[in-house]
Amino acid sequence: MKLNNKPGHAAADDAPPSGLTACVGRWWHVVQERRPQSGRRVKDIILFYWKELALVHERSSNYTRYTFIPPILPALTRPRHHSLPTLNALSEFLVQLFFNRVLLPSILSSCLQLLARSLSSASTTMSTPRVFIVRHGETEWSLNGRHTGRTDIPLTAVGEKRVKATGKALVGHDRLIAPKKIAHIYVSPRKRAQRTFELLNIGLDEPLPWTRHGESEGEGLQCSAKIEVTENIREWDYGDYEGITTPDIRKMRDGQGYRGTWDIWRDGCPGGESPEDVTRRLDELIKEIRERWHKPVMGKGKDKDQCGDVLLIAHGHILRAFAMRWARYSLQNGPAFLLEAGGVGTLSYEHHNIEEPALLLGGAFVVELDQDN
């Protein structure tokens, strides 16, 4: 075998074989052939073939994350009169190679299959409670984009019709919102939100905590949950911007010398609430929902009569903010999603874990109306 003048490089006609077995044999042959020699040349040859062997071994493994190259190079470069370490090192390498290529893939495959079966079984036997967020139906102000916070205005006829359609499509014991599985209901103090609840076709054991704002169809599907009117889910207080559209607010701010484009998620409303104000009251409500209604049922076996879902009836900005805080995002980031008037969204948890709140993308709906009817 000839070597180039540069140490550590073999001649072209002595390039190592490409096959793993041939490479191991060639490597062993060179080590034995050069053992009588001493000095740097032998170490360079061993180092060259070791690097090539390690590269072939790594590329040939389908489990590169678990590939283990045993540290046998120091043993191979010891003085030549110690032959036992070299033999032991080669044996160790072959054992490790067998483990990596045969045993480890088999073990990993079995473990992954077992884990998949366990997760599949858990997903069908464990209960994950949800929060349904329902935006009130259309009003005159929501129709033309005016910010409606404290102002208490009713739903339009179209708004009522759409909410009724939502109730028929999504509320039922075999549908998205199952009344018998609802543990608690939170409703905004504004009558447009309260009227929306009245039209969802949900019947309660106790009278409503407000005077009805209109007629409803039938008694509704029976639900044993309590209903609570809370300021924590009222609409964002728009302060000086109440009843004004976004384009008009921006024109107003330009005239007042404000720089940049107004964004409620970043700037809030003068005379009303800031993002920090909204965050505080929503975080309080979210904590209550998780501690009081979700933790007691989280991860327990599925029961067709088990109650754990929570229903929120409120407004556009506050429900989008609620979804942001549910997923632990800052309001200043601004939500990249919408919730139309009369729309329904779903929040839950990932991996049946109360520490992993998530938005359920497959559970956001709005029922369209046939304008001819």
Matching residue, tokens 């003085």: 79
pLDDT, residue 16, reads 42
The answer to whether the pTM exceeds 0.85 is: no
- β-partners of residue 204 are 223
Note whether 153 and 140 are within 8 A (CB).
yes
Is 173 known to be catalytic?
A: no
Which of helix, strand or coil describes residue 187?
A: strand
pLDDT, residue 371, reads 58
For residue 52, being part of any structural domain is answered with no
Neighbours of 240 (CB within 10 A): 11
Count structural domains, the chain: 1
Is 136 known to be catalytic?
A: yes
Does the annotation list 149 as a binding residue?
Answer: yes
Residues 225, 309: Cα–Cα separation, whole Å: 10
For residue 260, being part of any structural domain is answered with yes
For residue 81, being part of any structural domain is answered with no
For residue 41, being part of any structural domain is answered with no
Distances in whole angstroms, Cα of residue 286 to Cα of each of 204, 320, 323: 23, 13, 10
Distances in whole angstroms, Cα of residue 275 to Cα of each of 35, 270, 315: 76, 11, 16
Q: End-to-end alpha-carbon separation of the chain, Å?
A: 92
For residue 257, what are the domain limits?
A: 130-365
For residue 23, being part of any structural domain is answered with no
Q: Between 20-33 and 83-98, two packed helices, what is the crossing angle to 10 degrees?
A: 180
What is the CATH number for 139?
A: 3.40.50.1240
For residue 328, being part of any structural domain is answered with yes
- Say which residues have a Cβ less than 8 Å from residue 41's Cβ, sequence separation at least 6: 3, 7, 34
Which of helix, strand or coil describes residue 166?
A: helix
pLDDT, residue 337, reads 83
Residues 334, 327: Cα–Cα separation, whole Å: 13
Catalytic residue among 52, 160, 198, 235: 235
Catalytic residue among 57, 136, 147, 294: 136
pLDDT, residue 26, reads 56
Does the annotation list 192 as a binding residue?
Answer: yes
For residue 82, being part of any structural domain is answered with no
Residues 20, 49: Cα–Cα separation, whole Å: 12
For residue 56, being part of any structural domain is answered with no
Residues 132, 322: Cα–Cα separation, whole Å: 11
pLDDT, residue 300, reads 74
10-residue mean pLDDT series, the chain (373 residues) = 42 44 54 50 52 51 40 42 50 60 57 47 62 97 96 96 93 91 97 97 93 86 95 98 96 90 95 98 98 89 75 98 96 88 94 91 63 55
